[in-house]
Chains A and B, each alone.
Chain A
Amino acid sequence: METLNSSANKTFPREPANFDEVSMHQSMLFSDSLKDLKNLRKQLYSAAEYFELSYSNDEQKDIVVDTLKEYAIKALVNTVDHLGSVTYKVSDILDEKVDEVSGTELHIACIEQRLKTCQNYIDNEGLSQQSLVIHTPKYHKRYILPVGETADGGNLTKLKYQGCSLDDQDDWNQFRNAVRATIRETPPPTAGKGFSPSPSPRLFQQYGKFSFSGTTPKKELDRRTVSPHRFPLLRTASLASRPTTPKSSRPTTPNKSRPTTPNPSNGRRYAAEPRKSASMRLHVDSINIKDPEQHSSKSKRLLKSLLSRRKSKKDETLYTYIDEY
């Protein structure tokens, strides 16, 4: 009887200060309750023996039976209390551990996510670097014009050099020197000899050898080296230069460097181009011959009309001459 009530009448120690002391106190209570549950079997067996002896020896059996009943009830209640507290503590500890494990899972998932992010970043960086290393030029070197030597050609050159890796000045200097050397080597055909409407086979050879037909004087050649349309090419450079070159200026400045692109696959096209340039040159030559005479006669007529304007003050004739001019 006394041993059964000993666990219930225990005096609790003072209140703990920090978390470690609280946990230690709880663990001590838990271990004490477990010990009491283990000792409950022995206590019940000893109580049963005691009541059996007292019931057989004592004459007042009713009192022994009543005492036995009370003891059994108290023992059952204490057992339920002990088991309830123990199971509550066990389930509480299990829940705490499950919460800790779920928190650890979250931490590990976060670490894995960060690791995946780092791996994706590294993969993207590697891909970008590889894509920068493998740089395929859009156009071939010979189809690209030099960097803007004129103010007008600045934008054009920017357009032409997009996606190209030909910023090296040495290559352009070599290219320029080679072109100049070819210009010096090839004798300029004179305009007096004239061109037949059908080009000669020698002319084809000259065009195939990347030569220029130098009808213009050397000063004009030097001036034209400045222009961005110095070597307008058929396939690529014309994409950028065609819309900018006005069509009206073509007859006056014949495009002599067109056949300079040595491309044997476009033989038919080159066969048609020299005819066009030759006929244009004839037309220009005839214009150049006739121009001084017409210009002098028109200027004389304009002067006469101006003089007659003072006398007659009628501007109709003047307007007509101006319109004609």
Chain B
Amino acid sequence: MARAGGITNAVNVGIAVQADWENREFISHISINVRKLFDFLVQFEATTKSKLATLNEKLDILERRLELLEIQVSTATANPALFNV
């Protein structure tokens, strides 16, 4: 009986260890996927920031060019003699 009880205890410990390894494997898979998700989020942040910076630069250039055009048009409209050449 004692030998049989020892065997069953060993089997239970083995099953518990196997389940523990399975749980660890599952947790590792989950953690790897979460880390991939984090890496994706970091990369997305970087690309979005670069795109936003490029867009901001283009908008600044456009704003300056529009200001220049507005000044030229306002100067031309303020001096109608230029159109009577």
Contact = CB atoms under 8 A, between A and B. Distances in A.
A126 B81 CA distance: 12
A76 B30 contact: yes
Nearest to A95: B51
Contacts of A87: 40, 44
Contacts of B7: none
Interface stretch (A105-113, A196-204, A225-233): A105-113
Interface string A93-107: 010011001101100
Contacts of B66: 108
Given A87-B44, A115-B69, A98 B51 contact: yes
B76 to A, nearest CB: 9
B13 interface: no
Interface in A289-315: none
Interface in A129-168: 129
Contacts of A108: 62, 65-66, 69
A125 interface: yes
Contacts, number: 55
B79 to A, nearest CB: 12
Nearest to B66: A108
B69 A111 contact: yes
Contacts of A79: 37
B72 interface: yes
B85 A122 contact: yes
Interface in B29-57: 30, 33-34, 37, 40-41, 44, 47-48, 51-52, 54-55
B55 A97 contact: yes
Interface in B68-85: 69, 72, 82, 85
Given A108-B62, A108-B65, A90 B85 contact: no
Given A72-B30, A115-B69, 18 more contacts: A69-B26, A73-B30, A76-B33, A76-B34, A80-B33, A80-B37, A90-B44, A91-B47, A91-B48, A94-B52, A94-B55, A97-B55, A101-B59, A105-B58, A105-B62, A108-B62, A111-B69, A122-B85
23 contacts: A73-B30, A80-B37, A83-B41, A83-B44, A90-B48, A91-B47, A91-B48, A94-B48, A94-B51, A94-B52, A94-B55, A98-B55, A98-B58, A101-B59, A105-B58, A105-B61, A105-B62, A108-B62, A108-B66, A112-B69, A115-B69, A115-B72, A126-B85
Interface of A: 65, 69, 72-73, 76, 79-80, 83, 87, 90-91, 94, 97-98, 101-102, 104-105, 108, 111-112, 115, 122, 125-126, 129
